[in-house]
Amino acid sequence: MENVPNHVAIIMDGNGRWAKAQGKPRTYGHYKGSETIHDIAIAASDAGVKYLTCYAFSTENWIRPKEEVSYLMGLPGVFFNRFIKDLMEKDIRVQLIGEMGRLPAETQKVLNNAIERTSQNKGMRLIFALNYGSRREITLAVKQIVESGISPDEVNEEAIQNHLMTAGMPDVDLLIRTSGEVRLSNFLLWQLAYAEMMFTDTLWPDFTKEELYSMFEAYANRHRRFGGI
Ligand code: FPP
């Protein structure tokens, strides 16, 4: 495959509707969605993607029913138990963006363990956005910059970038959102400045490697101008 996007970000939407259509509880949709993360991470890594960022839980998701939030907080444990072996085999490194501090202690432990175990891996970075919100991220970056006491003259794009949770990661090349919704939902607003965007009606649990690869093909044929002509 040629011209594969270096950094792909995904808004994994539609788990609840998928479950409803099957007559199952919403949590079952999230469970199936976590299997899709595994399949898509492997497929992206095989294609040569270097960064894959998945929106798993937003700062706004806390208002969901308690049982659903609690299920989602337990899902990383289920996911890594089942799949850490495959991630290791593919040399995939797990990272996080978002504010870990508000997650349950057990979830933090599971996540830190996955980060630690994969920290020497040299392949694709699989980045989970958990308790993440882009406005919050930018607000915290500004706060840190002000606290560091640098002069207004030194505030530039690079300084801001270096204080975002994605510091050290490249901008997003391709954003994918499933389930027919066409909005950004407070995801990576700064990092998406020049990203190509693709939206599909497919619900996240039904999203496949084939559809991912057909998006990569479409991406390779798009001419990115970055403001030029
Ligand atoms: C959106 O579907 C999905 C989420 C808010 C959660 C996504 C999380 C996962 C797929 C699993 C996370 C796993 C790990 C390992 C961190 P929705 O519930 O908004 O669906 P709906 O719009 O149909 O209701």
Task: Annotate 14-80 with DSSP letters as a single string.
Answer: -HHHHHHHTT--HHHHHHHHHHHHHHHHHHHHHHT-SEEEEEEEETTGGGS-HHHHHHHHHHHHHHH
Considering 3, 6, 61, 162, which one is annotated as catalytic?
Answer: 61
Q: Which residue has the tokens 């607000």?
A: 139
Q: How far is the CA of 34 from the centre of ligand 1 (A)?
A: 8
Task: Say what the pLDDT of residue 193 is.
Answer: 97
Task: Say what the pLDDT of residue 223 is.
Answer: 77
224 domain residue, yes or no: no
Task: Say what the pLDDT of residue 225 is.
Answer: 79
Q: Which atom of ligand 1 is nearest to the CA of 33?
A: 10
Find out whether the beta carbon of 9 lies less than 6 Å from any atom of ligand 1.
Answer: no
203 domain residue, yes or no: yes
The C-alpha atoms of residue 139 and residue 176 are separated, in whole angstroms, by: 25
Considering 13, 15, 131, 173, which one is annotated as catalytic?
Answer: 13
Count of C-beta atoms within a 10 Å radius of residue 109? 13
137 domain residue, yes or no: yes
Segments forming the whole domain that contains residue 131: 9-219
206 domain residue, yes or no: yes
3 domain residue, yes or no: no
Q: What is the CATH number of the domain that holds 13?
A: 3.40.1180.10
Taking CA atoms only, the protein residue closest to ligand 1 atom 5 is 57
State yes or no: is 3 an active-site residue: no
225 domain residue, yes or no: no
Task: Supply 49's token pair.
Answer: 């993607």
Q: Which residues of the chain have pLDDT under 50?
A: none
User: For the chain, what is the domain count?
Assistant: 1
226 domain residue, yes or no: no
Query: Is residue 194 within 8 Å of 224, Cβ to Cβ?
Result: yes
Dihedral pair phi/psi, residue 80, rounded to 5°: -70, -35
Q: How far is the CA of 199 from the centre of ligand 1 (A)?
A: 16
Q: Which residue has the tokens 């432990």?
A: 109
State yes or no: is 13 an active-site residue: yes
Please choose, from the candidates 122, 59, 130, the residue with its C-alpha nearest in 3D space to the C-alpha of residue 92: 122
- One-letter amino acid of 68: E
Task: Say what the pLDDT of residue 226 is.
Answer: 82
108 domain residue, yes or no: yes
